[in-house]
Structure 1
C-alpha cells in the first residue's frame, strides 16, 4: 500500500475520531455570557452545558461553564436565478438553482488548544467539488492543535481550504461581495486539499503582524476512496499586516462590516509545488489525466503556482488585488498517455507534429491572471461592488479551449442589501460581462463579443 494512501487514511481517521473537535481561522471566544440560559443540572451528572441565546446567523452554541469546551452548529442556504445572453443571439437562457446549502460544526476543547470543524455541502456539483465528484458532501474535516491556546501556532490535520490558493478562495462563500467568486479563483483554485497545515501569528513591530503558513498535502484535492496519483504537494504563504490586524477577523471577509476605524492592510504571497499532478489545476482532483513511461508506470508532470495579493479596508471601503501565475514541468521519460476509456496511445501530435511537452502543457491550466475588486458598505447595510478580471493564457494551455474559456476580460458589478447587521441574510444582484477572445463556442453554436449574466441571489444563514 502506497505511503500517500496510508497518509490519507491516517489523516482521515484522526479527523473522524476527533469529530467532536475542529477550527475556524478566526478566534472563537465565548461571548454574551449575560444572554445565556442554563440547562438544569438535574439532567446531567456533571456540569451543565451553557446554551447561548440564539441570534440569526450565529447558529446554535453550547459551551462548558468553565470555558474549556465550545461547540457551534451553523449553516446557510443560497438560491439564485440566473439569466444569460450571448452577442448575436436574441434568446434568453435562464434557470433557478440552489447554489449552496451547507452545514458546519465548529468547536474547541481543552481551553482552545484543540479546534475542529466538520463541513457538509448538500448541493451536488457546487464549488466544493470543482470539476470532479469529490467533495460533493464533505467540505471540511479537520482537527487543529494549538500548543499555547492562542494563534501563535496552529497545526491542522485533515481536509480544509488551502492557504496556498489565492486569498479569495479561503474566504467564506456566505460573505462574498459579488454572487460568485472571481474567474481567477474559479479557474486556478484547488479549493480543498488533504494533508497537514501549520499557521502562526507574530507581532513584529509596534502594530505590525506577520502570519506565515506551511502546507504539505497529497496534491489530489478533496478526499476520495480511489487511488491517489503523483507525489506530495508543498506550499507556503506569508501575510504581512503593517497597520495591525483586521477587526473581528475581517481579513476572512470581503466586506468591511466592522467599519475599520483606522486603515487596515494585508500584503500576501504564496507558492506551491506539486510533485506530479494528474489533473488540470495541479491539485484539484486525482486521476483525471495520466501518462506512462517506457516501463508502463505512471509518470506525471510537476505543477507550480504563485499568488500575490493586496487587501485593504477602511470605514466601509474594501479593495483587493490578486495575481496568479502557473507553470508545468514535463519529464522527458513520458512515452504514452492514457485515454478516457483506459486504452493507451503514444500519439502526442500538436500543431501538426509530435511534441510530448507541448501536448501535455496544452491540457493543463497554464498562464496568469489578475483580479481587481472593490466596494463600499453603507451604514444602512446596502453595499455596492465592482470587479475586473483579466486572464492571460500561455501559448500551450487548456485556457485556450474555446468552449469553456477564451473569455479573458470579465467586468462585474453588484448591489446587495443585508437584511441583518451581519452577513446572515441578503438579497444580491450581480451583472457579469465576459468579453470573448475571438470566436468561441457555446451550447447553441458559436459567437463573439459578450456573454452576459444577470444573477439574483438570496441568502439566509441560521
Structure 2
C-alpha cells in the first residue's frame, strides 16, 4: 500500500510541475520532456534509454572447431537522465541513474552495502570566459572510448582496452578550458582531482588522491569526436589528437580506481599507479577511424602482507592498443572493424597476451537513438584459450 501511495504521489507531483511550468515538445531521441521555469531561471530535460543484448560464446577445441556454447539474454543498460541549468545558464547539472542489474552491481561494505544507482551527479559552472568548474561524480577525462557514451558506440560494446585500463567515473572536481590558436585550430584542456577509488565509494578511501590531466587538439576545427561513427558525413576532414596522464597516489585497487580492493592482513595495500592514454579520432564523408594506446605501471604492483607474503592481488600493469574503423553507407548501414591487443606484464600478472578481432554491422534507424547492432569477435590468446563471440543488441533512447 505504501508503495502504491508513493507512485501516486510521484505521478501527481510530475503533473503539477508540468502544469506549473512551460513545457517544450521534443522529437524522438531528444528527451521525454523539457521543462523551463516561467521566470527562465531553471530548466530540466528528462531522458530514458535501454539496451537489449543477446550474447553467444564458444570455446575453441583442440581440433580447431568450437564447442561449449553459452548463451545470455539481458537488459544490458536501462538508464534515466536529467540535465539542464539552475539559476543561470552558466550553472548546468546532470544526473544519470542506472536501473539494470549490471548498472547497479557492486554493492559492498565500501558502498555502504547499497547498490550503485548513481552513475553521474555533477554540477558544471562556467565561472569565467572559457573556463568551467565541475564538481560531483562523473567520468574522468581518460581514454576516448570510455568518454563516448555507451549509447553512441560504433559496435555493440567497448573494447578490451577499455575494460582493462579505463579510469571510468570518480568523485571529485574538474577544471575544463578551451581556446583557439586560429580560426579553426582548437585546443581543450581538462584537469581532474578525484577520490581515486571509483564511483559511489563511501569508505575505503585512505586519503591518496587521483590526479588526471588531458589535452585535446582539433587542427581542423571542433566536431563531435565523442560520438562514434561519422553519422553527419562531415564534408571536410575532422581530426582530434589527445593525450591523458593519470597519477593515482596510494591507490588501493588493482586497476587504479577500478578493479578489486587490495586487502592485506593489516588493512589496504597502497601503491602509486600511473596510467597514460594517447588517442585519436578522424571523420570524413562517412568514414571514421579511432586509435587508442594505453599504458599502466605501479611503484610496487604485487600486494603483500605485513610479513612480506603476497596476498594474491596484483596491479594490472602493461599496455593496450585498440584500432577501430567504419564506413557509413548511404542507406545508414555501417560496416566496422576493430583490432585490440592487450599486453600485460606476464611475469608480474601471470596473464598472457591477447588479440581480439571484431567485425561489426549496424543499422541506424534514428541515428544512435534507435539502432540495431551485431558483431562477431575472435579472441586469440598465447595459451590457446581462444574464444568466438557473437552479439546482437538493440538500442532505444527517448
Normalised to the residue count of structure 2, the TM-score between the two structures is 0.87
Partner Cα distance (2:267, 2:257) in 1: 20
On the 8 A contact 1:123/1:136 being kept in 2, the answer is no
In the alignment, structure 1 residue 193 sits paired with structure 2 residue 170: yes
Match 2:181 to one of 204, 220, 226: 204
1:392 aligns with 2:343: yes
Contact 1:231 / 1:274 at 8 angstroms: preserved in 2?
yes
Gaps of 5+ in 2: 1-14
* Residues 16-165 of structure 1 aligned to structure 2 (within 5 Å): 44=20, 48-49=21-22, 51-59=23-31, 60-64=33-37, 68-88=41-61, 89-126=66-103, 136-148=116-128, 152-163=130-141, 165=142
Give distance in 1, aligned partners of 2:353 and 2:138: 30
Question: In 2, Cα distance between the equivalents of 1:41 and 1:302?
Answer: 49
Q: Distance in 2 between matches of 1:279 and 1:69?
A: 40
Structure 1 window deviating more from structure 2 (152-161 vs 56-65): it is 56-65
Q: Residue by residue, what CA displacement relative to the aligned partner does 1:216-259 show, whole Å, maximum 9, x if unpaired?
A: 0010101223332350011100000000001xxx1110111222
Give 1 or 2: higher strand fraction.
2
Q: Identify the match of residue 436 of structure 1 among 366, 375, 381.
A: 381
2:289 is matched with 319
* Residues 165-203 of structure 1 deviation map (CA, whole Å, 9 limit, x = unaligned): 211101110011110101101111131111001111111
Task: Select the residue among 299, 303, 309 that pairs with 1:347.
Answer: 309
Task: Report matched runs for 1:169-184 at 5 Å.
Answer: 169-184=146-161
Matches within 5 A, 1:334-373: 336-337=304-305, 346-348=308-310, 363-373=314-324
Does residue 328 of structure 1 match 2:298?
yes
| Structure 2 residue 245 is matched with structure 1 residue 271 | yes
Q: Is the 8 A contact 1:241 1:267 kept in 2?
A: yes
Q: 2:360 aligns with which of 405, 410, 414?
A: 414
Q: In structure 2, which of residues 236, 259, 282 is the aligned counterpart of residue 262 of structure 1?
A: 236
Aligned-partner Cα distance in 2 for 1:305–1:368: 10
Residue in structure 1 matched with residue 6 of structure 2 by the alignment: none
User: Contact 1:301/1:330 (CA < 8 Å) preserved in 2?
Assistant: yes
Distance 1:285 1:41, change over 3 A: closer
- Which residue is 1:216 aligned to? 193
Would the aligned equivalents of 1:78 and 1:99 in 2 still touch at CA under 8 Å? yes
Partner of 1:289: 262
Return the offset for 1:54.
Answer: 2.8
Kept in 1: contact 2:131–2:177 (CA 8 A): yes
TM-score if structure 1 supplies the norm length? 0.75
User: Alpha-carbon deviations, 1:424-450, whole Å to 9, x = none?
Assistant: 1111111111001114xxxxxxxx3x3
Q: CA deviation at 1:41?
A: 12
Alpha carbons of 1:129 and 1:207: their partners in 2 closer, same or farther (altered >3 Å)? farther
**Which of 366, 373, 376 is residue 327 of structure 2 equivalent to?**
376
Q: Following the alignment from structure 2 to structure 1, what is the Cα–Cα distance between the partners of residues 126 and 107?
A: 34
The 3-state SS of whatever aligns with 1:112 is strand
Q: After superposing the two structures, state which structure 1 stretch, 388-397 or 315-324, moved more.
A: 388-397
Residues 269-305 of structure 1 deviation map (CA, whole Å, 9 limit, x = unaligned): 010111111111111267x10347xxx5755111000
Aligned length: 375
Query: Over aligned residues, Cα RMSD in angstroms?
Result: 2.7
